[in-house]
A and B are shown apart, each in its own frame.
Chain A
């Protein structure tokens, strides 16, 4: 099992290796995608084994993988594989168009692999301190991806991202310290005192006040990475300016890693203080995020920012689900994490395709996708429907579970409020994407502003898409992850595989 755990973390390192060997975009992308698939396969095998075996431990508590970590490992590894596949086509197109130099392409693959690997490693450690170290390191690696294009806008977004996230994670470290103070009644001078399983087992002897403070600081700190309002301000900028496969990684993998850390703190706090206090905190931050996300989705403009605000909304929904609690709430939260990750990866990869074809990130500059580019348009249409929670996709099921969990609590006000917000989100989101998908392709709508991921390679008429890919292989590489993601969402909407169901139930046992 330890070999599998190492394989999961080592898989994405194929990216940096290829970059060191000075590979071009296509070769490096294929290597990274292969690495991502290895990671995903190892993660699935590991989770299948964890259902029947006790958690994997080692290295004095530094290595600790239970069903909950296994579940998040699958989510992050799956997103990594999808985004790595998407990188093949996207980066080759950018390299061919001269939008990115070969040095920038190598930087991309080096930091992409490092970023994925660090996130996966942070899910495998049982030590709270090491968790901080790895999450902060993954922030730095992803900041390099955000600032990759080197223009004033992307550097600005990268600066905002790195300074806000670093401060947030440092606050979470302060929370970790307070949890450590809370345990000073435990006389044990070894690394065990800073590990999840040990703290959870000895929760009863922790001092209550420092635990309360620690949970608040952890929610604020790691909540900055999750993008919970009001700490979400870095999120739309970073998602809009990063290369699209990297945006997919930020939205679908990084945010979930932060949520994983919060869930671990939640488990310990619940064990010591009871459920009322942490639930109130999570419901507050969750509803704030849903409201903020929905409000900003009403604005029409950059479609990558729209997707980013949708991430804020969905992270809020997950926090609300954790706040509702109970078996239903936690089950819904985990299922929603997986569903949202896949759907958002599909949407961001698709947005990369659109941005390459139209050389704009403004929704007003894109029309008639379904006619002009049926594959891209179809993926955008179905991806939007999925992320908005329409049947038969997986998010419908998970959102339904979460709302049911809310009604299972005493008051029906909160779940009704959530339903109302979801309806507004549907209208706001679909208003923009429907405009992009429908209409006649030939209408020469001028791009709203010369935002431009790069100057147009050829003086094409504005509004008319160009084919950015060279050869059939690249076109397939762009379409495969979209199709794979949509099929996975459809399957999860119709039927939850028995293995996944068992795995989620096992993860719940860790939290409750």
Chain B
């Protein structure tokens, strides 16, 4: 465990990855092109798989190497390619116009949420001995930013990306528990995410075929 202290090279690399993942979540929040959403999400997943690789290298764990490769293959390559092919290109999506608050306002709110994440998960609140404690507030902030993205964007595809960012944030938190988090659980989470994206893609394309544009602003039939 002490191999991942904040001063060790592995700990520094892990912290650096956490910061990069947070920055990419901000980048996604500050963009209004569907292509960019997917690109930033893909990059975020690649950094996440790098972080998993660092942890695997530190702990010499075969299971973690498998997880790192799975992250790269499914989240870094599979999901971005599938979203581009099945949603963006087929439905000819380019600019996201269904944004409820301005980009700069959402960035400011995002900054406030990041500060809040640090407030809630101050290292001194966490018990001693947590590996790479700096990653915990970072992952909390990424979760909040993803949720913010889901709230301020009304388009179904943007909400899908927001959920995936939340999921990446949780996974970043889980990596710091590498030594003890059971492999079956992590693999199951992967399976859920992949299946979730598949079923959401089916719904989004079905909805788009029926409505002119699958924007949740038009999803107003069910109320009360």
In the assembled complex, the Cα of A137 lies from the Cα of B177 at a distance in Å of 23
Q: Are B199 and A143 touching (Cβ within 8 A)?
A: yes
Which of chain B's residues 163-194 have a Cβ closer than 8 Å to chain A? Answer: 163, 166-167, 169-170, 173-174, 177, 179-182, 184-186, 188-189, 191-192
Chain B interface, DSSP helix/strand/loop, else mixed:
helix
Please give the distance in Å from B148's CB to the nearest CB on chain A.
12
Q: Per-position contact with A for B144-163: 1 when CB-CB < 8 Å, else 0?
A: 00010010000010011001
B211 at the interface (CB under 8 A from A): yes
In the assembled complex, the Cα of A464 lies from the Cα of B121 at a distance in Å of 62
In the assembled complex, the Cα of A383 lies from the Cα of B203 at a distance in Å of 34
In the assembled complex, the Cα of A180 lies from the Cα of B178 at a distance in Å of 11
* Residues of chain B contacted by A133 (CB below 8 angstroms): 185, 188-189, 191-192
| Nearest-CB residue, chain B, relative to A193 | B180
Please give the distance in Å from B69's CB to the nearest CB on chain A.
20
Q: Are A162 and B189 touching (Cβ within 8 A)?
A: no
* Residues of chain A contacted by B224 (CB below 8 angstroms): 236, 296, 299, 301, 305
Q: Are A181 and B127 touching (Cβ within 8 A)?
A: yes
B92 at the interface (CB under 8 A from A): no
Q: Are B196 and A162 touching (Cβ within 8 A)?
A: yes
B130 at the interface (CB under 8 A from A): yes
Which of chain B's residues 190-222 have a Cβ closer than 8 Å to chain A? Answer: 191-192, 195-196, 199-200, 202-204, 206-207, 210-211, 219, 221-222
| Nearest-CB residue, chain A, relative to B147 | A167
Q: Are B219 and A174 touching (Cβ within 8 A)?
A: no
Q: Are B196 and A159 touching (Cβ within 8 A)?
A: no
- B174's contact among A177, A190, A296, by CB below 8 Å, is which? A177
A156 at the interface (CB under 8 A from B): yes
Q: Are B196 and A160 touching (Cβ within 8 A)?
A: no
In the assembled complex, the Cα of A144 lies from the Cα of B200 at a distance in Å of 10
- B156's contact among A62, A159, A181, A193, by CB below 8 Å, is which? A159
| Nearest-CB residue, chain B, relative to A131 | B185
- A174's contact among B143, B159, B211, by CB below 8 Å, is which? B143
* Residues of chain A contacted by B136 (CB below 8 angstroms): 181
Q: Are A155 and B210 touching (Cβ within 8 A)?
A: yes
Q: Are A159 and B210 touching (Cβ within 8 A)?
A: no
Please give the distance in Å from A122's CB to the nearest CB on chain B.
11
In the assembled complex, the Cα of A178 lies from the Cα of B159 at a distance in Å of 25
B125 at the interface (CB under 8 A from A): yes
State whether A207 and B126 are in contact (beta carbons under 8 Å apart), knowing that A173-B170, A174-B173 are contacts in the complex. yes
State whether A166 and B207 are in contact (beta carbons under 8 Å apart), knowing that A140-B196, A207-B126 are contacts in the complex. no
Q: Are A155 and B120 touching (Cβ within 8 A)?
A: no
Q: Are B163 and A166 touching (Cβ within 8 A)?
A: yes
Please give the distance in Å from A371's CB to the nearest CB on chain B.
30
Please give the distance in Å from A324's CB to the nearest CB on chain B.
29
| Nearest-CB residue, chain B, relative to A299 | B224
In the assembled complex, the Cα of A62 lies from the Cα of B127 at a distance in Å of 26
B129 at the interface (CB under 8 A from A): yes
A182 at the interface (CB under 8 A from B): yes
State whether A132 and B159 are in contact (beta carbons under 8 Å apart), knowing that A156-B219, A173-B170 are contacts in the complex. no
Q: Are B210 and A167 touching (Cβ within 8 A)?
A: no
| Nearest-CB residue, chain A, relative to B127 | A207
Q: Are A155 and B207 touching (Cβ within 8 A)?
A: yes
In the assembled complex, the Cα of A157 lies from the Cα of B223 at a distance in Å of 11
A194 at the interface (CB under 8 A from B): yes
Please give the distance in Å from B75's CB to the nearest CB on chain A.
14
- B206's contact among A147, A170, A190, by CB below 8 Å, is which? A147
A150 at the interface (CB under 8 A from B): yes
In the assembled complex, the Cα of A214 lies from the Cα of B211 at a distance in Å of 40
A185 at the interface (CB under 8 A from B): yes
Q: Are B207 and A159 touching (Cβ within 8 A)?
A: yes
* Residues of chain A contacted by B182 (CB below 8 angstroms): 127, 129-130, 191, 194
Please give the distance in Å from A312's CB to the nearest CB on chain B.
13
A488 at the interface (CB under 8 A from B): no
Q: Are B203 and A147 touching (Cβ within 8 A)?
A: yes
State whether A190 and B180 are in contact (beta carbons under 8 Å apart), knowing that A155-B210, A170-B167 are contacts in the complex. yes
Q: Are B211 and A159 touching (Cβ within 8 A)?
A: no
Q: Are B203 and A162 touching (Cβ within 8 A)?
A: yes
Q: Are A151 and B143 touching (Cβ within 8 A)?
A: no
Most buried by B among A134, A140, A177, A193: A177
A210 at the interface (CB under 8 A from B): yes
A189 at the interface (CB under 8 A from B): yes
Q: Are B189 and A237 touching (Cβ within 8 A)?
A: no
* Residues of chain B contacted by A191 (CB below 8 angstroms): 180, 182
Q: Are A62 and B163 touching (Cβ within 8 A)?
A: no
| Nearest-CB residue, chain B, relative to A130 | B185
Q: Are A167 and B163 touching (Cβ within 8 A)?
A: yes
Q: Are B196 and A167 touching (Cβ within 8 A)?
A: no
Q: Are A158 and B203 touching (Cβ within 8 A)?
A: yes
Which of chain B's residues 110-125 have a Cβ closer than 8 Å to chain A? Answer: 120-121, 125
* Residues of chain B contacted by A184 (CB below 8 angstroms): 127, 129-130
Q: Are B188 and A130 touching (Cβ within 8 A)?
A: yes
A136 at the interface (CB under 8 A from B): yes
| Nearest-CB residue, chain B, relative to A150 | B206
Q: Are A129 and B150 touching (Cβ within 8 A)?
A: no
* Residues of chain A contacted by B147 (CB below 8 angstroms): 167
State whether A194 and B181 are in contact (beta carbons under 8 Å apart), knowing that A167-B150, A305-B224 are contacts in the complex. yes
Which of chain B's residues 90-135 have a Cβ closer than 8 Å to chain A? Answer: 120-121, 125-130
Q: Are B188 and A213 touching (Cβ within 8 A)?
A: no
Please give the distance in Å from B147's CB to the nearest CB on chain A.
7
A510 at the interface (CB under 8 A from B): no
In the assembled complex, the Cα of A152 lies from the Cα of B213 at a distance in Å of 12
Which of chain A's residues 216-238 have a Cβ closer than 8 Å to chain B? Answer: 236-237
- A185's contact among B127, B163, B196, B199, by CB below 8 Å, is which? B127
* Residues of chain B contacted by A182 (CB below 8 angstroms): 127
Q: Are A240 and B222 touching (Cβ within 8 A)?
A: yes
Q: Are A159 and B179 touching (Cβ within 8 A)?
A: no
- A152's contact among B127, B160, B174, B207, by CB below 8 Å, is which? B207
Q: Are A129 and B181 touching (Cβ within 8 A)?
A: yes
Interface residues, chain A, CB within 8 Å of chain B? 62, 127, 129-130, 132-134, 136-137, 140, 143-144, 147, 150-153, 155-160, 162-163, 166-167, 170-171, 173-174, 177, 180-182, 184-185, 188-191, 193-194, 207, 209-210, 213, 236-237, 240-241, 296, 299, 301, 305
Given contact pairs A133-B185, A296-B224, a sample of 9 additional A-B residue pairs in the complex whose CB atoms are under 8 Å apart:
A133-B188, A136-B192, A144-B199, A147-B202, A166-B196, A167-B166, A184-B127, A189-B180, A194-B180
A-B pairs, top 8 by smallest CB distance, nearest first, are: A129-B185, A133-B188, A207-B127, A152-B210, A237-B222, A191-B182, A136-B192, A209-B125
6 residue pairs from A and B, CB less than 8 Å apart: A130-B184, A137-B188, A163-B163, A177-B177, A180-B177, A299-B224
